[in-house]
Structure 1
Amino acid sequence: MMMTDLNPAPLPHDPYIDAVDQALTAAGLESDTYGTSATEERENDGRPTLSAVFLWTGENPLADPVLMPEGMAVFWSPAAGWRWAVRREDGDNDPAEPLTIDTWAAPFTVAARLAHMISLADWNGELADSVRSAVQQWRERPATMTVTVRDRSAEAPWGHGPTAPVTRQVTISTRCPACGGLRGEPRGQNSVDDGAHYWVQTWTNDCGHVDSYATVIAEVGALSAGEAR
């Protein structure tokens, strides 16, 4: 902790400000200097005030060279709470803006809010770009639905022994291949063919186009071929 010459003795808010400094450092937001002070000047609550300030110079890696070439400052007082400001070339500050947290916010909350205010809240790291790209690709993938259908192409031809229905669970687009409209909601159906029982799913498309199991199986084959390329 840095104390001013006017206040060489410990001040009542020193432990809190020290804890905030530790939280800032732990979050990678360590200031270049910070200090506490007391004054008899009346603040907006009409009482003598205690205060604290954290300073980041323009050389600090947290200071954006375009937005804050001279650095930034964070202020605290019991009446005004937490505020921050961009430093100017003349040594003064731009008008301070509130951090919009409680005056006695937990130290880690102060660090998190400051990171957000200076646009450091986004995750950055060695894997950040690849993860963002993977998430974007996942979000942009075609929407699909998984259904159980009968695959007659995998069954023995008619007349070659008892009927043995073959069913498959397949993944297809949620969109009608004929017009792009949404396919209907799948529902289960128990069926019988030549005494053989089997369970499949059916759906009704609002667009009126009918999906036969044969065309669905063909769609699955086309999707698999596209993925293999």
Structure 2
Amino acid sequence: MKPPVTAANDPIFYFHHSFVDLIFEQWRQTHQNRWAREREFPPDIPQCSNSEHFAHALMRPFNILNINGLSNAYTDHMYSYAQRPTCTMQYDCGSLYLFCSRHNGVPHCVSKIRSNGQCVGYENEDACYQGICIDGFCRPGAFETTTTAAPQNATPSAQPASSGFISTLGGLIKRNGGQTVPIPTRNTWNSGAGNGNCFNDDPCCSLWASANECPHNIAYMSRYCKRSCG
């Protein structure tokens, strides 16, 4: 997951980004109106990012622009986000794969522990997937629960037919017209790589830069540690 060039090969990549997208969407809903959600995009800074990530660059391999990925059409017509699972001292998480951790006095949902995994401290909780916690390890067995499943909220209504999204997306493609249509004029920042809008892509960049890696490992450092290497 760490190297950007190989991260997409990890099976968990999709789920990781789905969760990141949830956090971003929750922020968008509370801090932006519909107009802003479709138009507020990070500035184009050539010193900090490949131009393929700019707002009006083509979203390869599709026939739309990067900024079109902010369209309200996705959440209007294709999907919505379920609420994060919660639990109480009386109700569990309502999932076969989660258990309600209560041992610290603050009930919250946690992923169940795999078979033979360590479960020290969870002996009295349904912490093991298809098992029970015995002597600090998850062993095969059935946990006798004393709680009940949380009341089910009404199932969210299905999103409108995808034809609405197809129509909207079709409008975007028609409006953009692929690569042949001139890219809209957009101000490009020409600030140096060390400005406050330029960031490192690896938490170790500062350490590596102090070890003089910028001139010795130019290929990597110039790509992922732009701020530290100036």
Q: Which has the higher helix share?
A: 2
Q: Higher Cα Rg: structure 1 or 2?
A: 1
> Do these two structures clear the TM 0.5 threshold for a shared fold by scoring above it?
no
Between 1 and 2, higher relative CO (CA 8 Å, sep ≥ 6) is seen in 2
When normalised by structure 1's length, the TM-score is: 0.21
* TM-score for both structures, normalised by structure 2: 0.21
Which structure's residues are more often strand, by fraction? 1
